[in-house]
Amino acid sequence: MFSLEGKTAIVTGGGSGIGRAIARLFASQGAAVHILDFDEKGATTVVDEIKTVNGKAWGIKCDVSNQQQVENIVGSIALESKTIDILVNNAGVAHIGNVEGTNEENFTRLFNVNVKGVYNLLHAVIPLMKDNGGAILNVASVASSVGIPDRFAYSMTKGAVVGMTLSTAKDYISHQIRCNCISPARVHTPFVDGFIAKNYPGKEAEMFEKLSKTQPVGRMAKPEEIAWLALYLCSDEASFITGCDYPIDGGFIKLNN
């Protein structure tokens, strides 16, 4: 089950965290994985990890907010692979602040990566999927469903991701293109460790425990746990699922009363 043998996948932001876990898992299931990441070194490292276990992967430096760059890269992948079967829009950036603490530069940066970046990949990939169908997975957040303090711009972008998911699913269902999104709560990634170290020096363990306990299950997710859901939704076993947002949140949305 859940074989991706013979499929070509694009994973943005695949050089670390959730994207890394998705790229590694997809490759282990037989997909040829193209990792697009602004961090070229991170992408190369994940490619090497995949190739060590005889997987197929390529790393490409990419600024997802640059439409021409995205179009060129996707076109090159399609020329070589003939088809693109899976797209995972995972690349994203974060910002801490309410509306007063969010300046125009902050707002524009988050919009360009988290919203325009998703749009750019959809715009480039969908025309190439229309003949043979495909699976698209966008990474949203619990911040698109509930109010989280000091996440004004980030919540805005993730709400837009859910909206783009629903529109894409509706517009291309007749082309056998499925589009879903997932909404993780806190996931233990290098980003989280860096955020805690920067903002709470000397209190890292205390803050890690506090952030972990904001989820009813009592801990953060592992990137691999997010990847398993991504695999299901991008596999043929999920062929009847489209236009859905899946919380993967340790009970955060429904049980945090």
In this structure, the answer to whether residues 175 and 61 fall within a common structural domain is: yes
Global pTM value: 0.96
Confidence of residue 167 (pLDDT cuts 50, 70, 90): very high
- Asked if 132 and 193 sit in the same domain, the reply is no
81 and 155 co-located in one domain: yes
Higher-confidence residue of 191 and 184: namely 184
In a domain, 255, yes or no: no
CA-based angle 166:79:140, to the nearest 5? 25
Q: Choose the weakest-confidence range: 65-74, 117-126, 161-170, 197-206.
A: 197-206
Identify the domain containing residue 122 by its residue range.
8-185+222-249
Q: Answer whether residue 169 is part of any domain.
A: yes
Residue 254 belongs to a domain: no
How many domains, in total, are found in the chain? 2
The answer as to whether 120 is a domain residue is yes
Same domain, 206 and 100: no
Is residue 136's pLDDT more than 70? Answer: yes
Residues ≥6 apart with Cβ < 8 Å to 32 = 7, 8, 9, 56, 57, 58, 81
Do the domain assignments include residue 257? no
Mean pLDDT of all residues in 221-235:
98
Question: What mean pLDDT is predicted for residues 158-184?
Answer: 98
pLDDT at 123: 98
Token pair of 188, please?
């233990």
- State CA 61 to chain mean position distance: 16
pLDDT digits (tens, 9 = 90+) for 15-33: 999 999 999 999 999 999 9
Find all residues with CB under 8 Å of 75, minimum gap 6, and list them. Answer: 124
226 and 214, same structural domain?
no
Q: Confirm whether 246 is a catalytic residue.
A: no
Question: What average pLDDT score do residues 49-75 get?
Answer: 98
The reply to whether 104 and 192 lie within a common domain is: no
CATH (domain of 172): 3.40.50.720
Residue 63 — φ and ψ, nearest 5°? -95, 105
pLDDT tens digits, 99-125: 999 999 999 999 999 999 999 999 999
Taking phi over 0 as left and psi of -120 to 50 as alpha, with beta for the rest, 17 belongs to left
Residue 257, pLDDT > 80, answer no
Which among 136, 146, 130, 104 is positioned nearest to 12, based on CA atoms?
A: 136
- Average pLDDT over every residue of 48-75: 98
Residue 191 lies in a domain: yes
Pick the catalytic residue from 119, 154, 200, 246.
154
